[in-house]
Amino acid sequence: MKISKFGLKEKIIFAMLSAGLLPLIGYGVISSYLTSKAMQESAYAQMSSLRDVKQEQIQDYIEDVGKQLVTLAENTMTQNAAQAMSDSFFSLPEQIRPDAAELAELERGLAGYYQTGFGQKLKEISGQSMDTTTLIPRGEAARLAQHLYISANPHLQGEKDGLDRAEQDSLYSQQHAVYHPVFRSLLKRYGFYDLFLADPKSGHIVYSVFKELDFATSLIDGPYKNSNLASVYRKAMNGKAGEIYLEDYAPYLPSYNLPAWFISTPVFKEQELVGVLMFQLPVERISEILAKSISKDSETSAYLVDRQNRIVSHSSDEVFQADKHMALQSAALEQGLAGQSGELLAENYQGIEGISSFAPVAVNGLDWVLIVEVSSQKVFASLKDLQYTGAALALFGALFIVALAYLLGRDVLSNLGADPSRLSSVSDAIANERWEDEALQIQDTGKRKGVLSAMLAMKENIQGRILEERRVANESARVLQALDSVKSCVMVTDSDYNVIYSNKAFNKLRDSRGADLHSLIPDRPFEEKHIPVSGELRNILHSVCDINEPGVSPGRTEIQTGESHFGIIGGQVVDSEGNVLGGVFEWTDRTENVHIEQEIQSIVDSAREGDLSGRVEVDDKNGFFKVLGTSINQLVDVNEKSINETIASLSALAAGDLSRPMTTSYTGSFGELASYVNSTISTLSKVVGEIGETSSKVLSASNNLLEENTRLSDRTELQASNLEETASSMEEITS
């Protein structure tokens, strides 16, 4: 496409973009490359320095352990212990002299410990199962020693070092009681896993601190003759006094096939080899050295790899446990195993790209590769930030250049002026502030030049202010959009309480309660700026919060207008300098709450006066209020039913009808009331029956008494007649 086909404005844009962006892009590419190279070199230097430090720390640790081992071997106590323990170990059968029954019990105890104690834990830790009885040593002295200090040891598995002296007395137990506390204390102080003394002739481990299954076995022809402990023993047997010998990590069966490594030195007494002193070194110590000064979130790691491409230690315990059995592959490892040292940018054994620093570690026969690495994401994180920033600047520059080129092209193309009448119209419109006048509506930018451009500058200034206001309005719009998204009804006012905004929730409230809010809130929508409010609403808002009072606390109130009830909470709106901008008020529609409260209060008042016929209307309610209304109705129903039934029973009782007990089953106090009413009716029925029976008896007695009175009256009349006759006879005699 030919450039000549473009117009002048497009050419200016293209030229300015080329002149501005091409150098910027070139600078960005070169800067990114140089920065990346500098970061990579810096990371190389840091990883190399960290690798050297870790390499030196590992070598120092092994040298320190070697010095401790040699110092202990040259100690007279150790020399005496090696000789005494060997001599007394092999004389155990003669010292204890177990009979056949004791030997049989010893065999059963050892077999049981090997199968249950060791075998089960081996399966739990390593997932392996085996016939552990094949590991029981053959010699009588070895079996006696394992019986005394392992199977018959009262301490728990893993705590066998707690026994200083076996229960059965022997010269070996006496020697053990002397030296064991000292060696145990040294072991804890140095932080080693275990300490061994081995006989130089038979290879038997005549002493160990922790009494694992290697204790009392022969490293020459015993079950662990092919272990790395046996290997380090043989090295010391062929070595010189003061020399140390190391054996690399390998699975070690007495330690449940977990990785173990050993260090040894011969023990001489008066130039006679009396034993071999060996330490089982802790795996964790090398991991601690590698992890020291490396933050967990730094995406930096350090690890050691052996000749079998296996991780033998890692700065992260989790990674070490997960990867220690893996055969690793990486470019750094290949070069390190080839005896090279250096740094490179490549993928590690996990497939993660990063910077690796590697070097061989050869100490006393050990052949390891130390690798220190950091992920590329960590190294080049700031570079990506720089690239993103450069891209953003390029985009901004392109937009700026396009805008500038467009304005410049418009000015260049503005080669035609306006006639005097047009300039006069423009001048008149500007003078009279008629901003919507047709003379100012010049859409063709090519006609803007000279005087016309100067005249329109005033309009541009005003438009600039409008743009500024829009910018401020956009910032406010985000706040208003957030307010429109909440369910709370929010109203914002200026310092004179004129409403300048209400959110959607408030407008919805106004629409739903329009009839009751008509006297307070104008009919016009609040989207219009600065809507004056009624004096009543102004007073209400002022009572909630005097927003023009500096430092005033938020307030609240409740109002009723028509049939509606509202809660209002309000406070000040201030700027960053503490100037009052206005107020914000949250409205809560409490109409339904208040109506329900009134409805419930009416039912409660009626119930207090004895009228239990009232009920809460629940059909028009939902949620909590429906549950509350239903519960109140159930409460009133129970009260009404119990009271009506009580009234019916007592009314019948008052009328003399004792056959109307309360038959409905109630609980609680209502149940007690029904029980007492029914008990009263039952008691009255019994009393009335007893009164009837007594009345019958009284009536019968009264009839008998009446008959006796009649007979007595007849006798009295007869006697009176006889007396009269007697009196008459006496009168006749006396006359």
Distances (CA, A) of 574 to 241, 577, 578: 86, 8, 5
Residues 25 and 325: their CA atoms lie apart, in Å, by 49
Half-sphere exposure of 667 (CA within 13 A, CB side): 1
396: burial class by Cβ within 10 Å (0-12, 13-18, 19+)?
exposed
What pLDDT score was predicted for residue 244?
93
Fold adopted by 486-589: Beta-Lactamase (3.30.450)
Q: Domain residue spans in the chain?
A: 74-280, 286-381, 486-589, 627-735
- Identify the pLDDT of residue 172: 94
pLDDT tens, residue by residue, 325-362: 555 667 767 776 777 777 877 666 666 776 777 778 87
Contact 60, 52 (CB under 8 A): no
The CATH code of domain 286-381 reads: 3.30.450.20
Look over the chain and give the mean of its residue pLDDT values, rounded to a whole number: 77
> Which residues, in sequence order, are CB contacts of 426 under 8 Å at separation 6+?
418, 439, 440, 452, 455, 456
Which of the four pLDDT bands, split at 50, 70 and 90, describes residue 434?
low
| Residue predicted with more confidence, 616 or 559 | 559
Question: What is the rounded radius of gyration, in angstroms, for the C-alpha atoms of the chain?
Answer: 55
Min mean pLDDT across 185-199, 234-248, 331-345, 552-566 is at: 331-345
Q: Which single residue is written with the structure tokens 């006759």?
A: 725
Buried residues in 316-339 as b, exposed as e (16+ CB within 10 A): beeebeebbeeebebebbebbbee
Residue 322: pLDDT over 50: no
Distance of CA 37 to the CA centre of its chain: 41
pLDDT at 245: 93
The whole-angstrom separation of Cα 228 and Cα 261 is 7
- Over the stretch 636-659, which tens digit does the pLDDT of each residue have? 777 776 777 777 777 877 777 767
Strand segments, DSSP code E, in 192-253 are 194-198, 205-208, 245-252
Choice among 271-285, 303-317, 438-452, 548-562 with the minimum mean pLDDT:
438-452
For residues 221 and 233, the answer to whether their CB atoms sit within 8 Å is no
Residues above pLDDT 90, as percent of the chain:
19
- CA 213 – CA 56 distance, rounded (Å): 35
pLDDT-derived band at 405 (thresholds 50, 70, 90) equals low
**Where is pLDDT greater, at 333 or 506?**
506
Q: Report pTM.
A: 0.48
pLDDT at residue 393, rounded to an integer: 67
Q: Does the pLDDT at position 158 exceed 70?
A: yes
Dihedrals phi, psi of 417, to nearest 5 degrees = -95, -175
Query: Which H helix or E strand runs over 275?
Result: strand 272-281
How far apart are alpha carbons 651 and 435 in whole angstroms? 93
Banded pLDDT at 211 (limits 50, 70, 90): very high
What pLDDT shows up at residue 394?
64
Q: Which CATH topology does 74-280 take? A: Beta-Lactamase (3.30.450)
45, two tokens: 């230097």
pLDDT at 515 over 80: no
Mean pLDDT of 72-80: 94
Where does the pLDDT of residue 179 fall: very low under 50, low under 70, confident under 90, or very high at 90 and above? very high
Identify the pLDDT of residue 5.
Answer: 59
Distance from the Cα of residue 157 to its chain's centroid: 37
Contact call for residues 57 and 361 (beta carbons, < 8 A): no
Please state the φ and ψ torsions of residue 667, each to the nearest 5 degrees.
-120, 165
Phi (first) and psi of residue 165, to 5 degrees? -145, 130
Q: In this predicted model, what pLDDT tens digit does every residue of 90-100 receive, in sequence order?
A: 999 898 888 88
Q: Provide the 3-class DSSP secondary structure of residue 244.
A: coil
Task: Give 686-721 as a DSSP string.
Answer: HHHHHHHHHHHHHHHHHHHHHHHHHHHHHHHHHHHH
List, in sequence order, every residue forming a beta bridge with 272; answer none if it has no partner: 269
Contacts of 671 (CB under 8 A, 6+ apart): 665
**Residue range 525-545: average pLDDT?**
71
- Which element (helix H / strand E) includes 312? strand 311-314
